[in-house]
Structure 1
Amino acid sequence: MSYCINPLCTQRHNLDNIENCLACGNPLLINKRFRLLHPLRSLDKDPYTYTDIFEVEDVGIVEDEDDSTESYPHPQRKVMKILKWIDEPKLVELLRRESILLQILDHPGIPKSNRGDYFALRLNDNRLELHCLVMQKFEGEDLGKWIKSYGKIPQSLAIDWLSQLMDILDLVHRSGVFHRDIKPNNIIFQPNGKLALIDFGGARDITRTYLAKVSTSGGTSTGLGSGHDITIVRTACFSPLEQINGQAVPQSDFYALGRTFVNLVTGIPLIQIKSDEKTGRLLWRNKAPHIDKSLADFIDDLMAPFPGQRPQNTQVILQRLKSLSLQSKSNRLIKSKKFLFSVLVTLIALGVFGGFQVFFPIMANKLVVEGKKAEIANDSQTAQNYFNQAIEYNSQLKLSVSQFYLEQAARHFNDFKLAKKYYELALKYNDKDINAYNSLAVVCWQLGEVACALNNYQQILKLKPNDWEGYYRLGSFYDQEGKEDLAQEQYKIAIRINKKAVPALNDLSRLRNLKEDYTQASALALEGLRLTEDPKLQAALYKNLGWAKFMQNQYNEAETYLQKASDLDSKRIDAVCLLAQVQEALGKIEDARLSWEICMLARTTQQDVFQWRQELLDRLTNNSKISQ
Structure 2
Amino acid sequence: MAKASYGPKVQERTKRFLEALLAYANDELENTECLQIKFNWKTENELVIETQIRFLTQLTHLDAYKGKLNTEQIKEAIHRLEDLKILKDNRPGDKGLHGWYFTLTLWHSRQEQAANLQRFDLEWERLRSQKIQPARCSNNHSLQNPEKVPEIYNDRGVENYLNYQLPEAVSDFSKALKLDPNFAETHYNLGLIYEDLRDFKRAGSEYRLAMLGGLAAAYNNLARLHILNKDYAAAVDLLFKGLKLAEYEAENYALRKNLGWARLGQGRYAEAKAELMIAIDLDDKKASAYGLLAQALEELGEKVEALVAWENCLKYASSYQPDEDTWIDLARQRLAENQQ
Matched, 1:561 2:289: no
TM-score, with normalisation over the residues of structure 2? 0.60
Q: Counterpart of 1:444? A: 164
Give the counterpart of 2:13 among 108, 114, 126.
108
Whole-Å Cα distance in 2 between the matches of residues 609 and 530 of structure 1? 26
Matched, 1:521 2:238: no
Whichever residue aligns with residue 305 of structure 2, its letter is D
Q: Counterpart of 1:579? A: 293
Indicate if the aligned counterparts of 1:438 and 1:460 stay in contact, CA closer than 8 A: no
Counterpart mapping for 1:170-185 below 5 A:
183=63
Indicate the SS of the match to 1:578: helix
Q: CA deviation at 1:618?
A: 5.8
Q: CA deviation at 1:160?
A: 5.6
Q: Counterpart of 2:326? A: 611
Q: Counterpart of 1:312? A: 112
Indicate if the aligned counterparts of 2:13 and 2:69 stay in contact, CA closer than 8 A: no
Indicate if the aligned counterparts of 2:156 and 2:169 stay in contact, CA closer than 8 A: no
Counterpart mapping for 1:340-359 below 5 A:
none
Indicate if the aligned counterparts of 2:188 and 2:207 stay in contact, CA closer than 8 A: yes
Counterpart mapping for 1:218-233 below 5 A:
none
Matched, 1:190 2:32: no
TM-score, with normalisation over the residues of structure 1? 0.34
Q: CA deviation at 1:539?
A: 1.5
Indicate the SS of the match to 1:482: coil
Q: CA deviation at 1:469?
A: 0.8
Q: CA deviation at 1:439?
A: 0.7
Whole-Å Cα distance in 1 between the matches of residues 311 and 279 of structure 2? 18
Q: CA deviation at 1:527?
A: 0.9
Whichever residue aligns with residue 311 of structure 1, its letter is Q
Counterpart mapping for 1:584-603 below 5 A:
584-603=298-317
Give the counterpart of 1:454 among 165, 170, 191.
170
Q: CA deviation at 1:489?
A: 1.0
Q: Counterpart of 1:328? A: none
Cα gap change, 1:592 to 1:160, in 2 (>3 Å)? farther
Indicate if the aligned counterparts of 1:441 and 1:456 stay in contact, CA closer than 8 A: no
Indicate if the aligned counterparts of 1:189 and 1:196 stay in contact, CA closer than 8 A: no
Counterpart mapping for 1:35-184 below 5 A:
106-108=11-13, 153=36, 155=38, 159=51, 183=63
Whole-Å Cα distance in 2 between the matches of residues 548 and 607 of structure 1? 17
Cα gap change, 1:193 to 1:535, in 2 (>3 Å)? closer
Indicate the SS of the match to 1:516: coil
Q: Which has the higher helix share?
A: 2
Q: Deviations over 1:338-359 (max 9, x none)?
A: xxxxxxxxxxxxxxxxxxxxxx
Whole-Å Cα distance in 2 between the matches of residues 620 and 560 of structure 1? 23
Cα gap change, 1:539 to 1:616, in 2 (>3 Å)? same
Q: Counterpart of 2:192? A: 476
Indicate if the aligned counterparts of 1:478 and 1:486 stay in contact, CA closer than 8 A: yes
Q: CA deviation at 1:312?
A: 2.8
Q: Deviations over 1:304-351 (max 9, x none)?
A: xxxxx973337889xxxxxxxxxxxxxxxxxxxxxxxxxxxxxxxxxx
Whichever residue aligns with residue 217 of structure 2, its letter is P
Whole-Å Cα distance in 1 between the matches of residues 63 and 167 of structure 2? 49
Cα gap change, 1:487 to 1:620, in 2 (>3 Å)? same
Cα gap change, 1:607 to 1:314, in 2 (>3 Å)? closer
Q: CA deviation at 1:455?
A: 2.2
Indicate the SS of the match to 2:13: coil
Matched, 1:505 2:232: no
Q: Deviations over 1:201-251 (max 9, x none)?
A: xxxxxxxxxxxxxxxxxxxxxxxxxxxxxxxxxxxxxxxxxxxxxxxxxxx
Counterpart mapping for 1:539-554 below 5 A:
539-554=253-268
Whole-Å Cα distance in 2 between the matches of residues 590 and 110 of structure 1? 32
Gaps of 5+ in 1: 1-102, 112-142, 169-180, 198-308, 318-409, 414-425
More RCO (CA 8 Å, sep 6+): 2
Whole-Å Cα distance in 1 between the matches of residues 273 and 65 of structure 2? 40
Whole-Å Cα distance in 1 between the matches of residues 200 and 234 of structure 2? 16
Using the TM superposition, name which of 185-194 and 469-478 deviates more: 185-194
Whichever residue aligns with residue 196 of structure 2, its letter is Q
Q: CA deviation at 1:110?
A: 7.5
Q: Counterpart of 2:202? A: 486
**Computing the radius of gyration over CA atoms, which structure comes out larger, 1 or 2?**
1
Indicate if the aligned counterparts of 1:190 and 1:196 stay in contact, CA closer than 8 A: no
Cα gap change, 1:592 to 1:161, in 2 (>3 Å)? farther
Counterpart mapping for 1:427-442 below 5 A:
432=149, 433-434=152-153, 435-442=155-162
Cα gap change, 1:593 to 1:105, in 2 (>3 Å)? farther
Indicate if the aligned counterparts of 1:565 and 1:572 stay in contact, CA closer than 8 A: no
Indicate the SS of the match to 1:108: helix
Indicate if the aligned counterparts of 1:502 and 1:528 stay in contact, CA closer than 8 A: yes
Q: Deviations over 1:284-307 (max 9, x none)?
A: xxxxxxxxxxxxxxxxxxxxxxxx
Q: Counterpart of 1:84? A: none
Q: Deviations over 1:385-409 (max 9, x none)?
A: xxxxxxxxxxxxxxxxxxxxxxxxx
Q: CA deviation at 1:536?
A: 2.0
Q: CA deviation at 1:577?
A: 1.3
Indicate the SS of the match to 1:439: helix
Indicate the SS of the match to 1:557: helix
Whichever residue aligns with residue 482 of structure 1, its letter is R
Indicate if the aligned counterparts of 1:494 and 1:504 stay in contact, CA closer than 8 A: yes
Counterpart mapping for 1:287-326 below 5 A:
311-313=111-113
Gaps of 5+ in 2: 1-7, 17-28, 40-48, 78-108, 118-122, 127-138
Indicate if the aligned counterparts of 1:546 and 1:562 stay in contact, CA closer than 8 A: yes
Q: Deviations over 1:393-428 (max 9, x none)?
A: xxxxxxxxxxxxxxxxx9xx9xxxxxxxxxxxx9xx
Give the paired residue count.
251
Whole-Å Cα distance in 2 between the matches of residues 602 and 470 of structure 1? 31
Q: Counterpart of 2:42? A: none
